[in-house]
Amino acid sequence: MSRPESQLPPNLYYNQQESVKYTNCNRIINIQTQLSERAIQLLDLNPDESSLVLDIGCGSGISGFYLTQEGVNWVGLDISESMLNVAQQEKTEGELLLCDIGQGFKFRPGVFDAAISISVIQWLCVSFKKSENPYRRCTVFFESLRNCLKNNARAVFQFYPENNEQINMITSAALRAGFSGDIVVDYPNSAKAKKLYLVVQLGGQSSKKTMDVIQGLVEESDEEKVKVIGRHQKKIRKQKKQKKVNEKSKLWIVKRKEKQNRLGRKVKKTTKYTGRKRNNLGLFK
């Protein structure tokens, strides 16, 4: 089968029918969830701190659902309105925004602690109009990302490049925008399980003109996974899953307020009455 990005632009390919089909496919759900889990591991977020993550190409919210399970606040961008409609129907927790990442996006400077993207950025390497320049779109995307990330923030992109030219295009655009990092290859000896992750960091000191390609997970097993960042290896600490916060509870409301406040929106102050159940005193049925 031909690759989706070689057929139609993403906003046309992922129409209403394809978006529903994509979201209801158990195989896709399992794969996207596993990729999201790995991306979060590579982000190495501090489990003791509240983080706001940008989910680039969030689609119908499969990766966002995993972020929510891990107790992470997130904002999602996608070019397909149909995908975002499905995400809303699925009642995802994240803030959803319609956006063509190749044309850039604007958030408050330094608002995000990290960013992830699952199976998306290879779309930047193809054009469907004569006026579109793939390298220019990659550059605009990484420059927009740089502006909204905190200093030393990390971003992880799982992607499916068609050839080495696309890898070079993406990595050179990231380096030009001021990122440093490497490409992590999981299961490099397996044609079926092989996965590529571009792991970049903002503010890192790097004079390299290219990014190193390094091995991540070497073989599929039940043994403890090992991740490789730069030239160092360290075991992944299994983060304790946070307990699900009850909807409308005080903690749930406070977390929602924190996210809205970080996005620059006005919110009411938190007081001792926040989240407290009100007695209607018999005024309403």
Query: Residues 8-21: pLDDT tens digits?
Result: 999 999 999 999 99
Instruction: For residues 158 and 203, give the distance between their C-alpha atoms in angstroms, rounded to a whole number.
Output: 21
pLDDT at 247: 65
DSSP state, 125? Answer: G
**How do strand 179-186 and strand 232-235 relate by DSSP bridges?**
unpaired
Query: Residues 245-273: pLDDT tens digits?
Result: 566 677 777 777 776 676 666 777 787 66
Q: In this structure, what is the dihedral angle of CA atoms 88, 11, 72, 226, given to the nearest 10 degrees?
A: 140
> pLDDT tier at 130 (50, 70, 90 boundaries)?
confident
pLDDT over 90, % of the chain: 57
Instruction: For residues 94 and 53, give the distance between their C-alpha atoms in angstroms, rounded to a whole number.
Output: 10
| Longest CA pairwise span in the chain (Å) | 71
pLDDT over 70, % of the chain: 78
pLDDT at 129: 86
Look at residue 147 and give its three-state secondary structure: helix
Instruction: For residues 280 and 285, give the distance between their C-alpha atoms in angstroms, rounded to a whole number.
Output: 9
- Cα distances (Å, whole numbers) of residue 43 to 99, 123, 280: 23, 22, 46
**Residue 275: what residue type?**
G
pLDDT at 164: 93
Instruction: For residues 74 and 54, give the distance between their C-alpha atoms in angstroms, rounded to a whole number.
Output: 6
Strand partners, 73: 52
Residue, of 259 and 241, whose pLDDT is higher: 259
Instruction: For residues 113 and 107, give the distance between their C-alpha atoms in angstroms, rounded to a whole number.
Output: 13
Task: Please say if the pLDDT value at position 225 is more than 60.
Answer: no
Query: Residues 30-45: pLDDT tens digits?
Result: 999 999 999 999 998 8
Query: Residues 138-191: pLDDT tens digits?
Result: 999 999 999 999 999 999 999 999 999 999 999 999 999 999 999 999 999 888
Instruction: For residues 70 and 279, give the distance between their C-alpha atoms in angstroms, rounded to a whole number.
Output: 34
Among 156-160, 211-215, 225-229, 266-270, the range scoring the smallest mean pLDDT is: 225-229
**Residue 66: what residue type?**
Y
Element (H, E) at 190: none
Mean pLDDT over the full length of the chain: 82
CB 40, CB 67: distance < 8 Å: yes
Task: Please say if the pLDDT value at position 69 is more than 50.
Answer: yes
Task: Please say if the pLDDT value at position 240 is more than 60.
Answer: no
Domain 4-244 superfamily per CATH: Vaccinia Virus protein VP39 (3.40.50.150)
Instruction: For residues 245 and 258, give the distance between their C-alpha atoms in angstroms, rounded to a whole number.
Output: 15
- Cα distances (Å, whole numbers) of residue 282 to 36, 112, 275, 285: 48, 45, 20, 7
User: Which residues lie below 8 Å from residue 41, measured CB to CB, with a gap of 6+?
Assistant: 225, 227, 236
pLDDT at 284: 43
The distance from CA 229 to its chain's CA centroid, rounded to whole angstroms, is: 18
Task: Please say if the pLDDT value at position 210 is more than 70.
Answer: no
Instruction: For residues 215 and 256, give the distance between their C-alpha atoms in angstroms, rounded to a whole number.
Output: 38
Q: Where in the chain is the domain with CATH 3.40.50.150?
A: 4-244
Residue, of 248 and 275, whose pLDDT is higher: 275
CB atoms within 10 A of CB 2: 6
Q: Would residue 143 be called left, alpha or beta, if left means φ above 0 and alpha means ψ between -120 and 50 degrees?
A: alpha
Instruction: For residues 102 and 237, give the distance between their C-alpha atoms in angstroms, rounded to a whole number.
Output: 35
DSSP state, 249? Answer: S
